[in-house]
Structure formats: C-alpha cells, structure tokens
Structure 1
Amino acid sequence: MNSQRFMIIPFISFLAACTSTTVVLLPDSDGNVGQVEMITDSGTTVLNKAYESSEAEKQKLSSTPNVLLSKEIVRDKYGDILAKEPLIPEHFKFYFKTGKADLQAEAQEMLLKSKARIEERKSCDLSVIGHTDRVENDDLNYLLSMVRAANVAKALVDLGIPLNCMDIRYYGESYPVIPTLDDVAEPLNRRVEIEIR
C-alpha cells in the first residue's frame, strides 16, 4: 500500500481577513515520497518531492508556486505540529512450520525486541494477527491461525505485556503475502504479525 505523509497548516490572517492552507509533503520514515494534489478552482498543483510546499488562498482559490523547503526549515517552522504527529506503526513477524502453531527458537529474540518497542513507545494499542498458507482446508487454516495468534499473544503476556492492550485477530489463508494456489506451502504466509501503534 502506497501512502504519503503531509501536513496541512491552516493560517488565518486577521489583518487581511483571509484564510489560506499550506501543504508540506513529508517523506516516510524510510525516505519514500508519495504525491499530493492540491485542487482549487484555478487548477491542480502536484507535490511529489520531499519537503515540497504550496499554499492555497481560499478567497482567491488559487495556489502559490511550489517551494522546496529544507528539512531544517520544516523542523524549525513546524516543529510544534510535527511533535504532535502520531508515531508510525511498527511491525514484527513470526513464522511457523507447516501445520504447526508453536513458536520457533528464533522467536524469543523477536519477542524481546517487540516487548522493548512496546515499552519504549508506551503503547497499549497493538494487534496480534494470525495467518496461514493454503495447505489444508479453509476451516483448519482458520483455526490454525487463531492458535498461532493466541500463542504469540500468550508469549507477550508472559513477558509482561497486558492482554487488554492486544487486539487478537486471525484470518486463516485469507491475506497471503504471496498469493498461491491451494495446497501450496509458502513459508512467508505462515505468520503472525504484531502491529504496535
């Protein structure tokens, strides 16, 4: 899923008795930049570079030419707004053997990392989501994904993460990372994902 971060800053000028909206396109945490279109009666302005900005005055219904701002200028000018931005969700994945729901040996290190991030973020908003590949039938896979999710949730509880902070879901083979035909074993689809918000 492509997403983009941008902030819209409404300005009100009491002296000029007009309002305007400024849009600044921000890169994702991994540096990727999406695209934003500002549409007014005068046309469309496209922002597609990191820290690119444009302003539209509502009375005139037109936008100013795009301006490329530096990261430092954005931080200095809009730091208070950026400080209030919610943290981007983090994901941790646990993989399973075909038809199995027990955590593998390498899962302990990932559990400790996820626990550390939950505590650092002071989060009580996480999802634990179970999945399977397409080996076996739909009903068995649904149950298997439920047990996998429950096992990861229990491991987190054993590490001190409150159960009431978790939304536990399971989808069987419904949302594969790699789509396959029936009865095809795909290790990347046999997973539980933790999303920390």
Structure 2
Amino acid sequence: MKKQMLHALMLTGTCIALTAPIAAEAGGSDSQKVVRDTGGHVVRNTFNNCVRTKWVEGRDICGAPAPVAVPRQVVQQPRTYAAAPQAPIEQSRAFLIFFDFDKAKLTKDALAIIQSASDASKSARRAIFDITGHADRSGPDAYNLKLSQRRANAVSAELQHMGVPKENIRVDFKGEREPLVPTNDGVKEPQNRRAEIQFHNE
C-alpha cells in the first residue's frame, strides 16, 4: 500500500510534509481514494487541492479542483488632450508716428512702428487702416495742411510696400487743426508733427 501511495504522489508532482503517518481512504469502494492524515482530515497540496490516489469523474468527494486565478486584463484607455486655446484676434489698435520738423520722410523709428502695424493685421479677417496726418503750428495753415497730407501718404505707401492692400487703407489729414499738445500759433511742437494709424479688424 505504501508503495502505491508514494507512486501516486510522484505522479502528481506534489511534495507534502506530514507529521503523522498518511492513510488512504477505502470507504468500501476503490472508485474514489484520497490521502488523509491521522486525524482523518483530507490532505491538500499548496494549491488547496486534495491529494488523491484514485479519481473517477462525478465521484469526487473533494469537489472540483480549485480554479486557477486568471489575472484580470486591464485595458488602458488612450489619453485625450484638450486643444490649446487660440489666441484672441486683436480687434483694434492705435499707432503713433512722429516726423522731423518740416519733413514727411519716415525715420527708422517710424518704419519700425509701421512694421508693427502691418504685423498686427496678419491675423485679421480683413484689416482696415485709418491714417491721419498732422502738423504743428509753426507755419501757414495751408502749408501745414499739405504737409500733413504728405505725411499720411508716406505712411500709406509704406504699409502697401509691406503687403497691405491699397483698398484697405483710408487716408485723411488735418494740418494744424487737431494738435496733440495745444500751443499758440507759430510754436514748434515735436509731438504735433505726427501721423496716427488706427487699425480695425472688420
């Protein structure tokens, strides 16, 4: 009998340490035999399954073998990212350009400001530029009116050179009638020798 039991244990590949002699259950039938310890308890392996010497399907007193735990498959959902917010389109902006005394030539600073105005229009659906020329009160009114016109036209020409369509530019000139700094007649005021650019997004 001991040889039969040892042979069965070797076949199942289970090593069990017992502190007392092992007995096989007879039960009047050899259709189902399990190994029990001296206390009558069924001996189980490390997987909690009975150690059997014989097994017939449908007559298993130990029940079905313990199910093998299958690791749960975790499906990681793809990450979604919110679209970066678009920068707001500038609706309007004013630019101020100054001229030397009795001149309509654009200075280096004036060219840089006009470039900024042109760049501001690139993101607009339809950019409209209102240009207004001005003069100080150091000369005759009629002369200053023409001088302010030349200044406004110089700014318009430079904007067109930078790619702004001519039809998107409106030109006006005020002479000495709308000074930035009020003065008496005949006073040379650098801040009144100017052209104003008003940018609109239409």
Q: Give runs of aligned pairs for residues 1-197 of structure 1, distance below 5 A.
A: 88-197=91-200
The letter for the 1-side match of 2:146 is: L
% identity of equivalent residues: 30
SS in 1 for 2:108: coil
Contact 1:127 1:166 in 2 (8 A): yes
Q: Which has the larger radius of gyration?
A: 2
Mapped to 2, the partners of 1:127 and 1:172 lie a distance apart of 16
RMSD across aligned C-alpha pairs, in angstroms? 1.7
SS in 1 for 2:122: helix
- Count, aligned residues: 113
Mapped to 1, the partners of 2:91 and 2:191 lie a distance apart of 23
Higher relative contact order structure (alpha carbons within 8 Å, sequence separation ≥ 6):
2
Mapped to 2, the partners of 1:117 and 1:168 lie a distance apart of 19
Q: Which deviations, in whole Å up to 9, do the C-alpha atoms of 1:62-105 show, x marking residues without a partner? A: xxxxxxxxxxxxxxxxxxxxxxxx96521011100111100011
Mapped to 1, the partners of 2:161 and 2:108 lie a distance apart of 16
Contact 2:129 2:170 in 1 (8 A): yes
TM-score by length of 2: 0.53
SS in 2 for 1:153: helix
Contact 1:95 1:192 in 2 (8 A): yes
The letter for the 2-side match of 1:129 is: T
Mapped to 2, the partners of 1:87 and 1:162 lie a distance apart of 19
The letter for the 2-side match of 1:174 is: R
1:55 corresponds in structure 2 to none
The letter for the 2-side match of 1:196 is: F
Offset, 1:108: 1.9
Mapped to 1, the partners of 2:179 and 2:126 lie a distance apart of 27
